[in-house]
Structure 1
Amino acid sequence: MSTHFEQMTSAGIVLLLAMAAFLVVIILSYLFIRRDFRQRERTEADLAEKTAYLNALIENAPMAFVVLDSERRVRLCNPAFVNLFQFHAAEVTGAPIDALIKSSEIAGETDDISERITSGETLQLIRRLRRKDGTEIDVEIHAVSLRIAGKVVGTLGICQDITERKRNQVELLDTNERLALLLSETERRAHEAAQLSELGELLLSCQTAEEAYDIVAKVMMRLFPGQSGALCVINSSRNLVEAVAVWGSTLTTDRAFTPEDCWALRRGRVHVMGDNSTSPRCAHMQSAVSSFTVCIPMVAQGETVGVLHLEDESVLPGQERSAKGPPLADHVRLATTIAEQVSLSLANLRLREALRNQSIRDPLTGLFNRRFLDDSLQRELRRASRKNRPLSILMLDIDHFKRFNDTFGHEAGDILLRHLGSFLQSYIRADDLAFRYGGEEFVIILPEASLDSARQRAEQLVKDFKRLDVQYRGTTLGPLTVSVGLAAFPDHGTTGENILRAADQALYRAKEAGRDRVVI
């Protein structure tokens, strides 16, 4: 009995132990399950918080976000995207992006863009896109592929309106261009002012009109590169306009023409040809006007002295000047300023030459006077000595001049002297110099003429003078003869005084020997 009780007790203990173990397992499982549940709650809470942050970020981001699937349909977008393109949210979700947003700038390149994004390339584009209301905006687009498990499932696009920024950039570029043009214009005008100043100084320093002509041509080539032109001056008879300086290779104006052939001279104002069909062509143009051409009258002290003519092959009729050169209005303005400077300079040179001629020329015969003889002889003697070349002097006198005065009067004597002056001017060479020495005596300087050569020329002069026909009140004055005394450097002296004395003595001997001859 006791043994049976012991067996029952042992079984009960085992059962209790098993039940206790099972209870422990249940408790432990509950504890583990509860811990996992709490961890999951915390994870879900963290995930919900992060999702809320992400949604808040997307919803409140100033830049537009859009997610496209592999078919380029809108899966997700934020309010900034909707507002940017002026859609309602219901219109956007699920719609093809190409149907929502149009642009001629990306027509035909969407497939290429999608392929590049699919390949994993990150793109940055600036395109002009059209919104729902038809207005266009400049948009900067950043696009990147979305991958899940290594597979591209869509595209994330971030868009930003840069219309204002681009407009500011354009305005800045325009401002910079205007400043660059202004700087270029300032530099060009400064260069022109410097050239004009230099031109004025050079013209003031000119001694002859020929020097001024050469300077004008050189300055015009610098101020108007690649253009052709001519400086034309009216002659003393005022019946002919002659080109005294030309420049360029395509000049189409005549080198000589009458004042009536030029509209600028006829009207007394600037005449532009080639800018429109209504401008008449000047008759001095050799052909139809095929380029921008301008004639500018040169007037100084109330007198028209000539015309400045310019031709610009770079400008065709009816066209404006290229950006590389000054506008046509400035082109004409500059040329007009130059014409004013040149005309005043030429007028001053003419006045200076007239005053100089009055001081060095004999008013009756037009030959140089005795005052100028002294300076000229010293200069020519220095040149002959420096070059080791001969120089000869002829001193001549009209035979029986006092008899002409006594018989016909001083008026006839003046006419005879005037004819002799004209005769000597036609007789001498370009380098020779003829002077009225005093009364009826004249001197001729023959540079680089030997004694023998000068004798031959003097004998020819004596012979030709006899054929001179001088009329006074219907009466022929004659017979006319001259006597000539000849002296040479260095044969008869090395100073002007000695050579003139030797020529005077030779003239005296010619008179003593019977006149109408040459004596050395």
Structure 2
Amino acid sequence: MEPFEELPSPLRRALTISGVYALVGVLWILGSDQLLLVFTRDVDAVAGLQTWKGWAFVLMTSCLFFGLTFRQFRRYQEVMEINRQQAEQILDLSQFRESIIDNASTWINVLDTDARVVVWNKAAEQISGYPREEIVGRDDLWEWLYPDDAYRQSIVERAQEILDHGLELEAFETCIRTREGGYRRLSWNSRRFFDGEGRVNGSIAIATDVTEQRAAERELQQRERQLANLMDNLPGMAYRSLFDEHWTMRFVSSGCRALTGYEPSDLLDNRTVSWAQLINPDDSARVTREVEDAIGLGEPFAVEYPIRRRDGTTIWVWEKGRGVDDSGRLALEGLILDINSRKHLEEELSELATHDALTGLLNRREMEVRLKEEVQRAERYGHSLAMLWIDLDHFKAVNDEHGHAAGDHVLRRLSEMLETSVRAVDRVARYGGEEFIVLLPERNRLEAWETAERLRERVCSQTIRVPGSGSVSLSISIGLAVFPEHGTSGEALCDAADRAMYRAKDAGRNRVCVAGE
């Protein structure tokens, strides 16, 4: 039974039908003869019936054969209709697939196992310039696309590895020469494919034209290099930061190193230190307020403030920037410059404008400003204000005997003695030549007299050594005036103290005289 079941289905079915037919025939012949003998024993009748029996068998077998044949033909038609429908579906699917491949925006080509082109879509035509009529069936297109021998060999080896060893390429870039002689850069994805029985049937390659993309990337890289070079050569530090409590830096140029001593990465996102931590705490609120005010008016801001560098030193910086949007948050973009040298110069200029260059004391103009302020304060609060007008006795003789350099030295030493002998709130100025003024806020006549005597005694009790000229003994004459007793204005107070000083000189020098006495 098992060998019969192993036969192909059509043969097994044919043998089954033939066996059934033979069995029916044998049963008919044997059965019909026995049935005739039951009804009659007449030889002539039996012979006649035998003829009709044969015709009946023919008729019966014809009907049976017709039924079987009709059934088989109907089944055959059904199978053919199914095959036709499947063929149409396959054709439609094939045409649909070919339409997709042909109209795809990316380059698609298929190679058979001999590396001949069997599919070359429109995108491949447009990019390469070669029509499919010239390409399909060829295996030498590599010489057209890659004219350089060494480069072409490397590409062919890759293609052969796909067919022979199943290499799969992803984002593999090559540069092809088009039919017009130009060059395009393509990014390839490629792999082999198989037939229904698992045999390698060829390889399919999909390429994206990335020529413009790579050109844009190169241009962007060039611009980034130029921007980096520009940033590196900018004086100071370019930045972009969030306007939050930390001044969180999003971008910092390399100028950060020279400006702060920190690496740019230290400041980015407050990794090591925040910019807010570098700002002098006493100036933080002012800086924030000035930036907010400018942004509120829609204007750029410029602000100066001191920062603490990594080495602990403090420098002044000037920041100019503007407010920008950063994903819905307020950010700042700008430039921060080191203005420490300028600040020192400004301080020096301010010092020169308000202080005597030789002695470092307040100069005449600054003393007049301070005198006016002190008079206004004394008048407002009802305080007293005393003035000492001091003249160095016999200073001309010092210059004549020891020279002007020695005279300058004497003036500097006298200035030191005066400044170190009074309170921090008192003001000492060189009014001109060898004349000095001392302002004593909230000092009455007696207190001012005691201060003046202390100054006089200290000066006359010390000998000043003059380099290369021995030593010099000094004395001073002092005129004392008190507000408002001797004058209700700065000018009146100066005039009263000056006249008192001249009375002291006329009285023999080295003494204190009070105005009005």
TM interval, short-chain normalised: 0.3 to 0.5
Q: Which one has the largest radius of gyration?
A: 2
So what's the TM-score if we normalise by structure 1?
0.41
